[in-house]
Amino acid sequence: MNRKNLNPKNYLLKEIDFYLVTDSGLSKKGTLSDVKEAVEAGCKIVQYREKNKSTKEMVCEAAEIKRICSDRAIFLVNDRIDVALAVDADGVHIGQDDMQIEISRKLLGEDKIIGLTVHNIDEAIEAEKKGADYIGLSPIFNTATKKDAGNGIGPEKIREIKRAIEIPVVAIGGINKENSESVIRNGADSLVSISAVICSDDVKSEIKSFIESIRRIKMG
C-alpha cells in the first residue's frame, strides 16, 4: 500500500531541518517551554522523549505538546505507543529494541508517522523496507546525553546511507553548531542537537540559528 500523504502533516517531513527532542533532565525552563520556543523558532518536528515521568503525567504533557504543535509541527512520542494513541499524536519514534515496527504500524494505523533509530546501512535499508517514514541515524559523534549510544559513526556514513534509501535521514548524537555543517554537507535532511540547545539559556534563538545555518548549507 502506498501510504504517502495519508497523514495531513506528512508533507512537513520533506521540509524538516532542525528536529527537537525534549529532555526534561537537561531543560532549564521545562519541556513545554522548550517546545513552545522551538515551534516559535520555526522547528517543524518535535519528539517528546520522557524517561522519568508517570504515564499519567506523560499523557497530560503530551496533550499540551500536541496543542502547541497544532498544524505547525509534526508531534511524535518516543517509545510510548500507548501515549501516542492516548493523545492522537502524529506518530512515534522507536528504537531497535522497542516494539517491532510492523506491530507498531498495526496499532497506530497507516496514517501515522513512524521514525526508527538505526546505527548502520543494513538497519537503514531494513527500516525503509518495513515502512519507516524516516530514520534517525545514531550516534554521529560521541555523546554524553545518551549513556548507551555507543561510539560515533562519523558524518561520512550519512552519505553512504542516503545513497541506499529514499526516506529522510535525521542525524543525532553529539551534534553542535560547530560540527553541524559536516552533518548537513554529508546529506542529512535534518539534525537533532539535544544538549547544545536544551542546556542553553535561550532555546528559541539557538534553534533559530540552527535552522538558518541548515537552510543556508542546504541551498549550497
Binding footprint of ligand TZP on the chain (CB under 6 A): 21, 138-139, 143, 145-146, 149, 172-175, 192-195
Give the footprint of Mg ion on residues 85-104 (CB under 5 A).
95, 98
For the bound state, the minimum distance from the C-beta of residue 70 to ligand TZP, rounded and expressed in Å, comes to 25
CA-nearest of 98, 103, 142 to 116 is: 98
Answer for which of 37, 79, 133, 189 binds Mg ion (CB under 5 A) is 79
Give the C-alpha separation, 113 to 120, whole Å. 21
Q: Is the separation of the CB atoms in 23 and 49 below 8 Å?
A: yes
Q: Quote the distance between the C-alpha of residue 124 and its chain's center.
A: 15
For the bound state, the minimum distance from the C-beta of residue 49 to ligand TZP, rounded and expressed in Å, comes to 6
- 174 interacts with, out of Mg ion, ligand TZP, none, CB within 5 to 8 A per kind: ligand TZP
Is 123 a binder of Mg ion (CB under 5 A)? Answer: no
The C-alpha cell of 161 is what? 546511507
Is 23 a binder of Mg ion (CB under 5 A)? Answer: no
Tell me whether residue 111 or residue 211 sits nearer to ligand TZP (CB atom): 211
In sequence order, which residues have a C-beta less than 8 Å from that of residue 21 and are 6 or more positions away? Answer: 47, 49, 78, 172, 192, 194
- 79 interacts with, out of ligand TZP, Mg ion, none, CB within 5 to 8 A per kind: Mg ion
Q: Is the separation of the CB atoms in 137 and 164 below 8 Å?
A: no
For the bound state, the minimum distance from the C-beta of residue 144 to Mg ion, rounded and expressed in Å, comes to 18
Tell me whether residue 33 or residue 179 sits nearer to ligand TZP (CB atom): 179
- 3 interacts with, out of ligand TZP, Mg ion, none, CB within 5 to 8 A per kind: none
Cα-based distances in Å from 119 to 107, 140, 143: 25, 9, 14
For the bound state, the minimum distance from the C-beta of residue 61 to Mg ion, rounded and expressed in Å, comes to 18
Strands (E), 49-207: 74-78, 91-94, 113-118, 134-137, 169-171, 190-192
For the bound state, the minimum distance from the C-beta of residue 5 to ligand TZP, rounded and expressed in Å, comes to 28
- Residue 42 is which amino acid? G
- 98 interacts with, out of Mg ion, ligand TZP, none, CB within 5 to 8 A per kind: Mg ion
Backbone angles phi, psi at 206, to 5 degrees: -60, -45
β-partners of residue 20 are: 46
Give the binding site for Mg ion (CB under 5 A). 79, 95, 98
